[in-house]
Amino acid sequence: MKKITDFKAGETARLHHKITPADIQSFVDLTGDDNPLHTDAAWAESSSMRGIVSHGMLSASFISTIIGKKLPGPGALWLSQSIDFLLPVRVNDTLTVEATVVEVHTRQRSLDLACSITNQDGKEVLRGTCAVKLLDEPEAEKTSPRTASRGIIVTGASRGIGAAIAKALGAAGFVVIVNYRSSEDAAKQVCAVIIEAGGKAWPVHADITKPKQVAAMVEQAALHCDEIYGLVNNAAGKVIEHAFKDLAWADIVEEYTAQVGSAYECIKHVVPHMQAHGGVIVNIGSIVADQSPPPAWLPYNLAKAGLHALTRNLAEVLGGSGIRVNTVAPGLTDSGMALDFPERARLMTKMQTPLRRLADPDDIAGAVAYLMSDAAHCVSGETIRVNGGKTTL
């Protein structure tokens, strides 16, 4: 059974059939339509048609044949049609039935087809359009074990949350591409921990704010696994506080480009590798997208809100290709950023959190590992908030 992503606009299929008296009799036996125009030669000869005419729906039934056998083929369901009957079809006419893909709706798993039937003289006897749906793949095919090695790129994976995510995914059996920008030794150490535990990992350098380096990173990743299955957009710079009176638009653009722009660029490059087999994209967002954000963090707040919006939109766009897109939104976490907070602020945040604790990097990694797993195969467009209950929606 073909996938919806296998079809392209302009794709065409044809079949040929010669109408015989036996065809007409079979149609009469099936439907009970024994109109003498179709069955009584003398009556039909005396009519304005000057001879027996085949049932119009007999000709149209071959559209069903081409749908079920050729385009889309097995597993297709004819949803709707609009048909114009242009000329009569007679016994011994040889029909050419043609269907052409007009539009592919990946999320709905459906195709719009233009259909036509011409006779042996090249004259069009029928013209129409129809909508066709591809049914879901059989359960046995969905649940068949995977033997291909599946790679996951984790950006900014040399330390903190990114390193914890890389280690968790390595432990789950994925080939982990540990991206770093400047901390090569730290990235190699993360890989060493994964390999020592029996996993596979490779350090790959790339400044993900530079599209050419992103492209090179993805191509390198493809060399280390059978398929690129996942992407974790984790990389983010240090939060720089700005008083509004001192904030320039360029500061906002810089932060937005660094987080949303880089994530988008990574997604654009991995999606072609995922379309044949599906995949998972996880954006690391933030609690600031849901609660009253720190006022001096405006560029950061806007960027994280943009990542959340990117998730929701791309879940719609890519879902038909079997690609899931989700966000994991940490609260204040005992790693990089939290270490810059005054101890009093950290304690207050703990006390204001229902679980009375901050998350640690492994908590975030666990949520990402779940989203990457087959257990989350029906989760897309969602935000998993890992903040001890501080934000509930």
- Three-state DSSP class for residue 22: helix
Max intra-chain CA distance, the chain: 102
Angle subtended by helix axes 21-31 and 56-69, to nearest 10: 90
- Three-state DSSP class for residue 358: coil
Do 172 and 188 form a contact (C-beta atoms < 8 A)? Answer: no
- What DSSP character marks residue 136? P
Please tell me which residue in 180, 229, 256, 300 is annotated as part of the active site. Answer: 300
Distance CA 198, CA 206 (A): 26
Tokens of 109: 């798993």
Tokens of 84: 């114009």
Q: H or E stretch including 188?
A: helix 184-196
Between the two ends of the chain, the Cα-to-Cα distance in Å is: 40
Distance CA 121, CA 299 (A): 69
Measured between alpha carbons, how far is residue 257 from residues 24, 72, 308 in Å?
A: 67, 41, 15
- What DSSP character marks residue 61? H
DSSP per residue, 194-249: HHHTT-EEEEEE--TTSHHHHHHHHHHHHHTSSEEEEEEE----------GGG--H
DSSP per residue, 137-164: PPHHHHTSPP-S-EEEEETT-SSHHHHH
- What DSSP character marks residue 295? G
Residues near 183 by Cβ (< 8 Å), separated by ≥ 6?
158, 159
Distance CA 291, CA 286 (A): 10
> Is 229 annotated in the active site?
no
My answer on whether omega of the bond before 72 falls inside 30° of 0, hence cis, is yes
Phi, psi (5° rounding) for residue 240?
-110, 120
Phi, psi (5° rounding) for residue 325?
-130, 125
Q: Which residues are catalytic?
A: 300
